[in-house]
Amino acid sequence: MDTTRFELTAAPHIKGPDSTPRIMWSVVASLAPVVLAAVWYFGPSALLVIAAATLGCVLTERLFGPGGTLRDGSAAITGLLLGLTLPAGLPLWMAFVGGVFAIGFGKLLFGGLGQNIFNPALLGRAFLQAAFPEDLTTWPDVSGPWAALRGDNFALPLMGADPVATVTGATPLGLMKFEGVDTEWVRLLIGSTGGSLGETAAIVILLGGAYLALKKYLDWRIPVSIFVTVGVLAQVIHWVDPTKPDAVFMLLSGGLMLGAVYMATDMVTSPTTPRGAWVYGFGIGALVVLIRLWGGLPEGVMYSILLMNALVPFINRATQPRLFGTGKEAMV
Amino acid sequence: MLNLFGVTFRHGVHPPDSKGLTDHLPIRRMPFPKRIALPLRQHAGKPAKCLVKKGDRVERGDKIAEADGYVSVPIHASAAGTVAEIGWWPHPDGSMTETVIVDVEPHSPQIPRPRLVPDWHGLTPDQVRQEVQNGGVVGLGGAAFPTHVKLNPPKDLPIEWLLVNGAECEPYLTTDHRVMVEYPERVHFGIRIMMQCLGVKRAVIGVENNKPDAIAALERTRPTDLDVTVQGLQVKYPQGAEKMLIQVVTGREVPSGKLPMHVGAVVQNVGSIATIAEIFETGLPLIERVVTVTGPGVRKPSNLIVPVGAMLGDVLDFCGGLTDDAAEIVFGGPMMGSSQPDLRTPITKGVSGVTVLTAAEVKPKKTYPCIKCGHCLDACPVFLNPSALGLLAQAGRYQEMQDAYHLSDCMLCGSCSYVCPSNIPLSQMFALSKSGLRKQQASEAAKEKAKEGQAA
């Protein structure tokens, strides 16, 4: 019998069903409803901005990344997530540049998939925020005709957007911080408020997150610990000083949902250890409350996550699992 | 930890058990092949010393090699015939090893020489151990550790429990399953002898809940005068690992770097226990064993009694041969077994099964970078951090793997590799790291010695 056809591999010889592309594309699939919600509220502009950001990411990965990595789906996730953090009226070239930066500097410069320290989508957004602060904080209103563009999406690069084209509104966090106006929590939950594309529909994001958590494609400890930290801290502060927003408002407004469910849980940039996930989530939650209530910015989710990203190697180190047969469980 | 599916340990993985191919098939006896190959090294410890030479005539059951020291066992001829040659032959571990090849006598009735059956009643523990060693008994679960050594714990460590391992958590294999279903009395008889030898009062047989017929058979034949219980276990890999079984049954974790006896337990595989019983029933040493030949790549999956030393090709032929899409032949189960390139390789004492996988089951080759998903941390039954260990292994930082991440506690169960979505061969890397670390330490020690020599 010819034996050369037999495989010679090391144990184990069988493999579970999960694969990295399958995880990544599942995340992409779970983002589809979030994108749809954005289109529902912001019309074609939403689709254009998200597409431009995604194109920037995918092209950069294709041109400068190791070959064949588009198929693993991770560049697509970065693009979608970046697009969802942007306002609907953003000029498309800016969204594209943000995508190029996110993949080029946020991921490939570190060595590609699995090597980056910071969440690439958030790094891309931080870059855009620093480069084009005005455009990034021009929030279109959700009212108005659905099919109309929500800003000067087609502005030429470096020419500046036409401010007249935008019917602007303020985000609930901005209203709260600078004008002291509260927003109904039902509107926050279904997302009919001003804000970034994916910041608005809390309920859709939660459903997507629940799906991923059930599939074990995200660590449920991270969003749960963020929500608990933000909720408890905000409520305690609200009791002490009623001018500060309460827990429900803090949880449902701004980028907290998208950040906690999709950004903070990025596998590459979050802790691998279960106890580390709790520490990391607590850190993000505490920083969010700190920045939102006492910082100069209305929103702090992005910087909170990026800051905690930087601490992940140390958190991992400090929260190694208890080895079997050590500690009080072991009989010596 | 009680739950819906029965008691279990923390973490672990759930590969499909795939036992339906053979779990209902009675054990059949495989006819004697034309040739058998008996490696002198079929057990952990020192290889046996050969007692025969080319041309010698051997009867079935004759000792052809004797134990070389305490951690060693003799080898017996599993068929009557003539020694054709003694030389290098492929071994299940992938190496070539010194092997006695016997041409089996074609028309022999294969009746062993008449022998004395030892009476277990009056035997002291030392005499029982001697009989077990003389019988060439090793752990039949896979590690092939000499059984008489396990029966001799140090005097200062009191043994409270005899744990009988019938978990059989490896997918596909139904060897222990069929032994428990078809020979439950023999299992109980072996337990009786072991309990007497160890002086323990309590024995627990652990069986995964996917073998209700085995549990029922063992319950039905349970002796009334001994404290023997049958414990159903949740179906989860690696439930049959010693440390996991001990933790589930006794609630004690074997301390890191220590042995089962340090928590008062001796664990023995049901197959080995049945073999001990056979020695005291028939006087025959370990010359045949039950082997599951299974997998989608085999035409006629079977549970067989195979003479030790039968070659892989003969066993497969008896099972109808391979299917056209057979892609990988594994000795043992797919989680911890070893793939075999050579059909002349013999079934040794430690081979519990032959699993033939087709291309559909063989794992994919493409790997991705580690995405730090942490699934391996949730799988590792001894709570290691395979993700961090894997990165260090790639960098060759073996000492750090040991000092900061407890490399030596890894038992190479393969759970981390099984769940890794990036298909990183973690357990293979850890096996290599373990030997790499030993080499590094040896060369360090040699350097130290050289320095001292210079100083003096």
The single-letter code of the amino acid at A235 is Q
* A86 C-beta neighbours (distance < 10 Å), count: 27
DSSP-derived secondary structure for A288-326:
HHHHHHHSSSS--HHHHHHHHHHHHHHHHHHTPPPPTT-
- Is the pLDDT score of B3 beyond 90? no
Q: How confident is the model at residue A23 (pLDDT cuts 50, 70, 90)?
A: very high
Interface of B with A in 180-199 (CB under 8 A): none
Greatest Cα pair distance, chain B, in angstroms, is: 72
Interface of B with A in 356-385 (CB under 8 A): 357, 361-364, 368-375, 377-378, 380-385
pTM for the predicted model, two decimal places: 0.91
- Is the pLDDT score of A242 beyond 50? yes
Q: How confident is the model at residue A271 (pLDDT cuts 50, 70, 90)?
A: very high
Average pLDDT (A35-59) is 92
Average pLDDT, chain A: 87
Site of tokens 């023997």: B228
Nearest Cα residue to A15 out of B235, B18, B417, B12: B417
Phi, psi angles (nearest 5°) of residue B231: -110, 115
A88 versus B355: which is more confidently predicted?
Answer: B355
ipTM (interface predicted TM): 0.88
List the beta strands (DSSP E) in B116-251.
161-166, 202-208, 227-233
B398-405 vs B386-394: helix crossing angle, rounded to 10: 160
Closest residue to A15, CB basis, from B384, B405, B423: B423
pLDDT of the residue at A169: 65
Residues of chain B with pLDDT > 90, as a percent, come to 84
- Is the pLDDT score of A160 beyond 80? no
CA–CA gap between residue B147 and residue B149 (Å, rounded): 5
Q: CB–CB of B263 and A331 under 8 A?
A: yes
pLDDT 10s digits, B264-294: 999 999 999 999 999 999 989 999 999 999 9
CA–CA gap between residue B319 and residue B307 (Å, rounded): 15
CA–CA gap between residue A159 and residue A12 (Å, rounded): 59
Q: Is the Cβ of B171 closer than 8 Å to some Cβ of chain A?
A: yes
pLDDT of the residue at A327: 78
* A98 C-beta neighbours (distance < 10 Å), count: 32
pLDDT of the residue at B453: 76
* Helix-strand-coil split of chain A, %, nearest 5: 60, 0, 40
pLDDT of the residue at A166: 55
Q: CB–CB of A1 and B423 under 8 A?
A: no
Residues of chain B with pLDDT > 70, as a percent, come to 98
Q: Which two tokens stand for residue A167?
A: 């019917």
Kindly report the nearest CA distance between residue B301 and chain A, in angstroms.
19
Q: CB–CB of A13 and B377 under 8 A?
A: no
Q: Which two tokens stand for residue B139?
A: 């752990």
* B449 C-beta neighbours (distance < 10 Å), count: 10
Kindly report the nearest CA distance between residue B17 and chain A, in angstroms.
12
CB distance A283 to B384 below 8 Å: no
Site of tokens 């009735």: B109
- Is the pLDDT score of A198 beyond 90? no
Q: CB–CB of B330 and A13 under 8 A?
A: yes
pLDDT 10s digits, B222-263: 999 999 999 999 999 999 999 999 999 998 999 999 999 999
Residues in chain A: 332
Residue B274 CA to its chain's centroid (Å): 14
Average pLDDT (A99-118) is 95
Q: CB–CB of B256 and A325 under 8 A?
A: yes
Kindly report the nearest CA distance between residue B412 and chain A, in angstroms.
9
- Is the pLDDT score of A213 beyond 70? yes
CA distances, B158 to each of B5, B125, B149, B265, B266 (Å): 32, 15, 16, 9, 10
pLDDT 10s digits, B100-155: 999 999 988 898 888 888 888 888 999 999 999 999 999 998 789 999 999 999 98
CA distances, B297 to each of A225, B85, B103, B294, B300 (Å): 48, 32, 29, 8, 9
A149 versus A26: which is more confidently predicted?
Answer: A26
pLDDT of the residue at B1: 41
Closest residue to A324, CB basis, from B243, B327, B418: B243
Site of tokens 């949880």: A251
Of A9-13, A146-150, B33-37, least confident by mean pLDDT is A146-150
Residues of chain A with pLDDT > 70, as a percent, come to 86
Closest residue to A14, CB basis, from B252, B334, B340: B334
Q: CB–CB of B377 and A321 under 8 A?
A: yes
Average pLDDT (B328-357) is 95
Q: Which residue of B has its CA nearest to A23?
A: B421
Closest residue to A13, CB basis, from B257, B363, B385: B363
Average pLDDT (A302-311) is 96
CB distance A211 to A179 below 8 Å: no
pLDDT 10s digits, B430-443: 999 999 999 988 98
Phi, psi angles (nearest 5°) of residue A201: -95, 85
- Is the pLDDT score of A142 beyond 70? no
- Is the pLDDT score of B300 beyond 60? yes
Q: CB–CB of B384 and A114 under 8 A?
A: no
Closest residue to B369, CB basis, from A115, A271, A322: A115
Q: CB–CB of B334 and A9 under 8 A?
A: no
- Is the pLDDT score of A167 beyond 60? no
pLDDT of the residue at B455: 67
Residue B176 CB burial class (10 angstroms; 0-12, 13-18, ≥19):
buried
pLDDT of the residue at B2: 45
Q: CB–CB of A12 and B363 under 8 A?
A: yes
CB distance B284 to B276 below 8 Å: no
Average pLDDT (B346-351) is 96
B184-198 vs B270-282: helix crossing angle, rounded to 10: 90
Q: How confident is the model at residue B409 (pLDDT cuts 50, 70, 90)?
A: very high
